[in-house]
Amino acid sequence: MRWLLLPFLLFPQSVELINENSQLDFIKPLGLREKRYLLRAKRWRKHTLTWQLQTQNLLDADVFIVRNTLHRAFNEWSTVSSVDFREIPPGVIAKEEVDIEVAFEKGEHSDGFPFDGQDGVVAHAFYPRDGRLHFDAEERWSLNSPEGVNLFQTAVHEIGHLLGLEHSMDVRAAMFAAKRPYDPTFTLGDDDVRAIRSLFPKRMGGIVEDDGIISTDNEVSTTTVATTTRSEVKTGNKKNTF
């Protein structure tokens, strides 16, 4: 048996346990051999997306660590493309609807895809332009440890789905369709970069250029990357090693 991240068409991406011999015909590359990613037809209509962490099921002392981990994860995608992310701090009421809402949830949480407790489905994200990203609060989350479920790696993968990416067949890609073990050097692969640039072409001298796409959007926002040290975080009654 092995863990695979299964695409659910119009439904969120989540982790399921399937048989090693299951057919994976639904994962097919597009175009040339080196292009192994898949894209959703529906896309975001802007290059700057807002996000906000909902802090229920998190201790106050844990919010800082989680927010900075999310900044790092969002930064993986914004560094290599023209998509930018702007955080709306927890509890702040935004003037406009927030694009991406991140939360740690338990069991049934009103989106039709209940979590199943520790060691089952660990997270799911909805495709554009829904913007919901949920982590299972009952998992044992970690950062700088091979134990538990790595929050940073999981967040990078799920943000890819939020942006419109499906799974990649490239085993080196962050969007590869398998739950990966802890990797202290984890970052986007070349296939991830090609995929996100097909949706959000890299800015060249302030102009977005790629495949004839040009944008005059001048609204640019950067994410803050913070180095975190090993500490412990509790979600609900579960202790998480960060």
Q: Which residues are annotated as a binding site?
A: 99, 109, 111, 116-117, 124, 134, 136, 139, 157, 161, 167, 175
Q: Which residues participate in the annotated binding site for Zn(2+)?
A: 109, 111, 124, 134, 157, 161, 167, 175
Alpha-carbon torsion (30, 36, 41, 46), positive or negative: negative
Q: Which residues participate in the annotated binding site for Ca(2+)?
A: 99, 116-117, 136, 139
Of the residues 16, 158, 166, 219, which is catalytic? 158
SS3 65: helix
219 is catalytic: no
SS3 198: helix
Contact 41, 128 (CB under 8 A): no
Over 103-168, what HEC string results?
EEECCCCCCCCCCCCCCCCCEEECCCCCCEEEEECCCCEECCCCCCEEHHHHHHHHHHHHHCECCE
From CA 227, how far away is CA 143, in angstroms rounded? 11
Residues designated as active site: 158
